[in-house]
Amino acid sequence: MEALLELEKVQRVLSLMGSGGLSDSDGSGGGDRFLAHFLLFLAQPFDSLAIEKKVVLIFELLREVNSDTLKEVQRLASLEGTNREDERLCPLISSQPTKKFKTDAEKLTIQDAPMIGFDAMMRANSTLEDFCRSYFIFHGLDVNRPHSVFKFLPLLSFTESYIYQLDASNEDSLLLVPDNNSSSTVLERKIQGSSQMSLSDMLDPLDNFLQCQGLMTDQLRNELKSGIQYWSLERKLCQALSRNDKISIEDVMEAIHLKSFDYRVLNLMMYRLTGQQVNDLHMEFLSVSEFLVEICDDLYDYEDDVVNNTFNILRMFAVIYGPLDAPKMLAKCIGEAEEKYESFSKKLDPSISRSYWRRCEEATKEGGKISGHAYGTWNIPPLIRDEGSFRLDRLNRGDASAMTIR
């Protein structure tokens, strides 16, 4: 089936060449096929290079290349292991990418290949469902059509699961060991085999994978870096709370804005997968929506986040502003974001705006939450004045749900 699809692509390009007067002048069918394959290769996405840049590079290269150069390249390419290594690093450059990549992937060690666990896949599942139901609207896709979902699901699922796995590794570093020995085994700090690696190093395999799939852009890479920034801030802020150190509102606001980086990563992937230009208005609107959703989730998960010592904007506001002023300052923050949300919403295509509004109403009802963004009411839970005592009390009561990581 795959071979037939490749032949169909070549045939379409041959037809295009014929209609555009690009065929080989000596009438050689082999020459036309060679040019068709070359054009297909040139059109493949590669990092952030634009088509125009590729054309300039090829033009400059061909002015310097002669038959002797090509013979030397052919000799180098024939060296044992060269082709296999190139195809492993970037399967797009292979004439049979899927087959070759599968063969070599079986030989990779855990350190060489990006690996994800079943738990990370399960945790990513609800995010993927929400992403497809909420964001496909902005790509002109119908989530109720299975083909629209399953066509993109493998890449989206792999990426989100990998991110969740790194998120779990980061949260492991935040677990607190209480003084109560009977509870210490519950919160014992895990020792990971990859503990010597930084999160940035652990993200490299995903970066390489996305680049080899032709999905990487400068904007996407910056969003992946935002994930590293968020995890770093989460460590900084939550460890400061555990030591009763001061924290800054600037760090807190930066962290809450960075927290939804995985949605933006998936969204940018969708633009590449569907061959569309990034819509800046949609990205700005969704960024405000993501901000409000993160606050909503933090209010809902407030107690669990206290127990797990993970980032939560209400926890941070309580430390910065005190228990009396924190709810008022957070309400002000929410109000300002809702005004921006309404302003951007009016700029959207009315059909997209209505569809997204309906989706958000569905999500609020399905979650059983009282609070919501831009509609419904916000419910700020009572603040926990002594997190240490609250955490120990929950653990002593054996509340297993408190240790469930979002």
Q: What is the pLDDT of residues 274-293, one digit of tens each?
A: 999 999 999 999 999 999 99
- The pLDDT value recorded for residue 339 is 95
- The pLDDT value recorded for residue 283 is 98
pLDDT digits (tens, 9 = 90+) for 14-25: 777 777 677 765
Contact call for residues 308 and 315 (beta carbons, < 8 A): no
pLDDT digits (tens, 9 = 90+) for 37-67: 778 887 887 766 777 777 777 777 777 777 7
Of 384, 244, 188, the C-alpha closest to 304 is 384
Low-confidence ranges of the chain (pLDDT < 70): 1-8, 20, 24-30, 47-48, 75-114, 176-197, 367-376, 398-406
Tokens encoding 219: 């904007």
Of 321, 300, 320, 298, the C-alpha closest to 311 is 298
Contact call for residues 163 and 210 (beta carbons, < 8 A): no
Query: What is the C-alpha separation between 248 and 225, in angstroms, rounded?
Result: 21
Q: Cα 297–300–306 angle (5° rounding)?
A: 100
Query: What is the C-alpha separation between 343 and 346, in angstroms, rounded?
Result: 6
Query: What is the C-alpha separation between 139 and 122, in angstroms, rounded?
Result: 25
Query: What is the C-alpha separation between 103 and 348, in angstroms, rounded?
Result: 46
Tokens encoding 268: 């940018």
Task: Give the DSSP letter of residue 44.
Answer: S
Query: What is the C-alpha separation between 289 and 284, in angstroms, rounded?
Result: 9
Give the pTM. 0.68
Query: What is the C-alpha separation between 311 and 260, in angstroms, rounded?
Result: 13
State whether the Cα torsion 21-23-24-27 is positive or negative.
negative
- The pLDDT value recorded for residue 41 is 80
Query: What is the C-alpha separation between 44 and 51, in angstroms, rounded?
Result: 9
Tokens encoding 69: 């150069």
- The pLDDT value recorded for residue 83 is 44
Counting Cβ atoms within 10 Å, is residue 96 exposed (0-12), middle (13-18) or buried (19+)?
middle
Question: What are the CA-CA distances from residue 69 to residues 58, 62, 65, 207 (Å)?
Answer: 15, 10, 6, 32
b/e map 171-188, b = 16+ CB within 10 Å: bebbbbeeeeeebeebbe
Of 83, 145, 65, 155, the C-alpha closest to 114 is 155
